[in-house]
Structure 1
Amino acid sequence: MGSGNHHTIFCTGYARLPDGMAAKNLYGVMGVGFEIDPETDKIVNASCTFVTNMCNDFIKSILVGHDLKNGVDLPIQTFEKRYFGLGKKAIVSAIRDAYNQFEIYKSMVYAESGAKQEQR
């Protein structure tokens, strides 16, 4: 279920899974994805791989609607206070990695817009 907006962007982050998780033997890593409205910097959809649908919905409920102009510390704090299970650190790392990919995107857009203005 996406936003229906064809102008959104998708940023992903990955992290290694801890020992003791069945998914580690299969995949080794897990990912978190943000679908973002680049005009508002808000997360409009989110997903997390290698976890149950319930956990994916839980993470999504924390992330969707969050304004990335404010970083990701607040949703990470919320997640850390409410999630008790293996993979907590990996999920947090993947959220930070996805946010870092968004920051790279924003810096590229900023650089491109500056270059266009210089050409005028």
Structure 2
Amino acid sequence: MEQYNKSTIYLVGDAKTATHNPITLQYNAYFIVLVIDLEQEVIVDAGASAINAVTDRFVRSLFMEYDMKRGLEPMIDEIHRRYHGSSQKALIVAWKDAYKKYLLIKNNELPIKES
């Protein structure tokens, strides 16, 4: 079982997909999950709401070890260059959502939800 150190955070980037997309039929949404080491500012694990294991592994490979200090655009360029699935636009929207949340967390601007 993989363990994450105490400097990591888990966050989800959400997006919508087209109604005919198989991901929508299974999950009702598209999302990526990222585990980010806040001290190193690097993605240490990733996943996506994919219905195919190959897709999940490919998306994971896009994000693994990405240096968050590089910003939003280099990853968008990488997605455009390498990911040509029907969820490309949703993947980019989910990445933008995740990156926005990352910045809020990094800058201590995300309110903590009480249970």
Q: How far apart, CA to CA, are the structure 2 residues paired with 1:16 and 1:47?
A: 16
Paired residues of 1:23 and 1:50 also in contact (CA < 8 A): yes
**More helix per residue:** 1
**Unpaired stretches in structure 1, ≥5 consecutive residues:** 110-120
Residue 81 and residue 16 in structure 1: after superposition, are their counterparts in 2 closer, same or farther (change >3 A)?
A: same
Paired residues of 1:36 and 1:42 also in contact (CA < 8 A): yes
State the partner residue of 1:18. Answer: 18
Amino acid at match of 1:15: A
Instruction: Look up the SS of the partner of 1:108 in the other structure.
Output: coil
Q: How does 1:36-47 map to 2 (within 5 A)?
A: 36-47=36-47
TM-score with structure 1 setting the length: 0.81
Kindly provide the CA deviation profile for residues 11-61 of structure 1, in whole angstroms up to 9, marking residues without a partner as x. 211000113212213332111111011101100111111342111111111
Q: How far apart, CA to CA, are the structure 2 residues paired with 1:42 and 1:32?
A: 16
Paired residues of 1:2 and 1:45 also in contact (CA < 8 A): no
Q: CA deviation at 1:2?
A: 4.1
Paired residues of 1:44 and 1:64 also in contact (CA < 8 A): yes
User: More deviation in 74-83 or 40-49?
Assistant: 74-83
Q: How far apart, CA to CA, are the structure 1 residues paired with 2:67 and 2:99?
A: 11
State the partner residue of 2:34. Answer: 34
Amino acid at match of 2:25: N
**Unpaired stretches in structure 2, ≥5 consecutive residues:** 110-115
Q: How far apart, CA to CA, are the structure 1 residues paired with 2:79 and 2:91?
A: 9
Q: How does 1:81-100 map to 2 (within 5 A)?
A: 81-100=81-100
Instruction: Look up the SS of the partner of 1:50 in the other structure.
Output: coil
Residue 36 and residue 2 in structure 1: after superposition, are their counterparts in 2 closer, same or farther (change >3 A)?
A: farther
TM-score with structure 2 setting the length: 0.84
Indicate whether 1:54 and 2:45 are aligned. no
How many positions carry a matched residue from both structures? 109
Percent identity of the aligned residues?
27
